[in-house]
Amino acid sequence: MTNLFHADRLRKADDNPLPQQTQTPPPPEEINGKPEFEVEQIEQARLNGRHKKLQYQAKWRGCDPDETWYSAANFKNAPIVVERFHTEHPEAPGPPVRLQEWIRAAAIDEIDEDHPDDNKAEKAGTGPTRKKRHL
């Protein structure tokens, strides 16, 4: 007797897919009527545009890598992750000027309303996450 079976009987392991297989992300949680994915960690920070808006690249729990830059305001429901990033990377632009308000709102399980300063950084940054101008 041999351990022979047809390939259609095989399934990928949910927690250990093959390198060429893409994982289906878990459905987003709804917070305040909007879909929200869980932030695993912040990867990079930058200031973008003429108004120097703070943006982040993030690793989302259960999702494939994402190279998209998102406005800092999109991370209001993950203030501890944002704070951890800036503690570990003090040379990076930021943190958001309203980070302490986001942390306070999260501590009492309250939704922090949108504010014009949500994408404003406390500092420009000095490290490699800051783009250099070539003259």
Q: Does the structure show a pLDDT above 50 at 38?
A: yes
Model confidence pLDDT, tens digit, residues 40-76: 999 999 999 999 999 999 999 888 889 999 999 999 9
Q: In what order do the strands lie in the sheet with 70-71?
A: 39-48, 53-60, 70-71
Residue 17, amino acid: P
Q: What does residue 37 show for φ and ψ, rounded to 5 degrees? A: -95, 150
CATH of region 34-121: 2.40.50.40
Which residues are registered as beta bridge partners of 41?
59
- The residues spanned by each domain of the chain are 34-121
Cβ atoms of 84 and 111 closer than 8 Å? no
Model confidence pLDDT, tens digit, residues 103-117: 999 999 998 999 999
